[in-house]
Structure 1
Amino acid sequence: MKTSWYKEPWAWLVFFLPLSAVVAGIATLIIANTDPDTLVVGDYYKKGKAINLELTKIKHAQKLGMAFALKFDNQELVIKPTGIDKEFPLLNVNFYHPTQQEKDFYFAMTADASGVFRQIIEKDISGKWRITISPFENHWKIQNTISLPQANFIDILPKPFEAN
């Protein structure tokens, strides 16, 4: 006597494998469309031109001898010029989280009477950050990768981001 096809375990195995591939493909498609990666750039040519412009600003900062010292302790960010002897009315300071764009933030900092820039930061920013410092005119730029908090001053020198 013959048994029905649906009573055979091999028949179910043959149906299950292609069905699981279809389900996995649909799940992958749904995940890819609902959680797009914000770090992927669509127009690579324009981004490449912008990178070249940024490298020009970094080289200009190197030529001018720009350098700063940074300290972040007890929720106070302190940045003091250590390079050329010049006063800056305003510094643009950007913090970029390496993997989570929503944690990025920016300060426009003005100097106190001694020429030191101070900012109180209420939120927790411990960990690794990429920082950029540029003047109001935006004709030079300094960028570094740092770890916070920093109880002692660390040097912020003009150099391109290293690939990690």
Structure 2
Amino acid sequence: MSDSTPWYKHRWPWILMAGPSIVIVAGFITAWLAIVSNDGLVDDNYYKVGLSVNQQLKQKQLAAELNLKAALSVADNGQSVQLILSGLPKEALPDNLQLRLVHPTRKGEDQTINLIRTGTLFKGPLTANPGTGRWNVVIEDPLAGWRMDGVWNIKSKEGVTIFARPQ
């Protein structure tokens, strides 16, 4: 008894070809994702960043000596960020602070916000909605030369308090 039906009418050749076909399609999808997405994990100027580590340590030490503390929160329905800085006398507060929201894995989502002082409150607009998740926060006063950093879980919808700690 011989079966004279053509091979493509049988089930087993198609089942055997399905696995490699799925792998080929998945390979094309992976290649497309690698091309269109920017992971941003490696800094283009890594040597310069490495040289600035000692300067950052001095800036953190200065903030710790001043005993600075910053309370950071989202305001205006996610349109802006506000910060309350304590540890400095009111007359010694700077007019501007620089706030950087740094995503741990996606460099393209990082934001630099110029915070302007009104009384004891610093406020600045968000350029894009940071969404949810963990963000590294860097607060700097470029004129006085101090710097603080911490981690903010924006998913919790609550603010965060960042303490200056010596490194």
TM-score, with normalisation over the residues of structure 2? Answer: 0.64
In structure 2, distance between residues paired with 1:42 and 1:155 = 28
Give the one of 119, 133, 157 matched to 2:123: 119
Residue of structure 1 in register with 2:3 after alignment: 2
Residue of structure 1 in register with 2:20 after alignment: 18
Name the amino acid aligned to 2:140. Answer: S
* Pair 1:83–1:56, CA change in 2 (3 A): same
Does residue 137 (structure 1) correspond to residue 158 (structure 2)? The answer is no
- Which residues in structure 2 correspond to 1:1-164 (within 5 Å)? 1-3=2-4, 4-38=6-40, 40-43=41-44, 44-62=46-64, 64-70=65-71, 72=73, 75=76, 77-83=82-88, 87-96=92-101, 98=103, 101-102=108-109, 104-110=111-117, 112=119, 116-119=120-123, 129-137=135-143, 139-146=145-152, 149-150=158-159, 155-159=161-165
Task: Give the fraction of aligned pairs with identical amino acids, expressed as a percent.
Answer: 20
Structure 2 runs not aligned, ≥5 long = none
1:53 shift after superposition: 3.6
In structure 2, distance between residues paired with 1:26 and 1:160 = 48
1:143 shift after superposition: 1.6
In structure 2, distance between residues paired with 1:42 and 1:121 = 26
Name the amino acid aligned to 2:146. Answer: W
Query: Mean Cα displacement is larger for which, 64-73 or 25-34?
Result: 64-73
On the 8 A contact 2:149/2:164 being kept in 1, the answer is yes
Name the amino acid aligned to 1:107. Answer: N
Name the amino acid aligned to 2:163. Answer: L
* Pair 1:126–1:97, CA change in 2 (3 A): same
What's the CA shift string for 1:21-73, capped at 9, x where partnerless? 111101110111112223x11445444444454233212322x3240342648
What's the CA shift string for 1:76-100, capped at 9, x where partnerless? 8242332578714334231416466
* Pair 1:32–1:71, CA change in 2 (3 A): closer
Q: Secondary structure in 1 aligned to 2:92?
A: coil
Q: Secondary structure in 2 aligned to 1:137?
A: coil
Structure 1 runs not aligned, ≥5 long = none
* Pair 1:159–1:91, CA change in 2 (3 A): farther
* Pair 1:51–1:88, CA change in 2 (3 A): same
TM-score, with normalisation over the residues of structure 1? Answer: 0.65
1:156 shift after superposition: 3.0
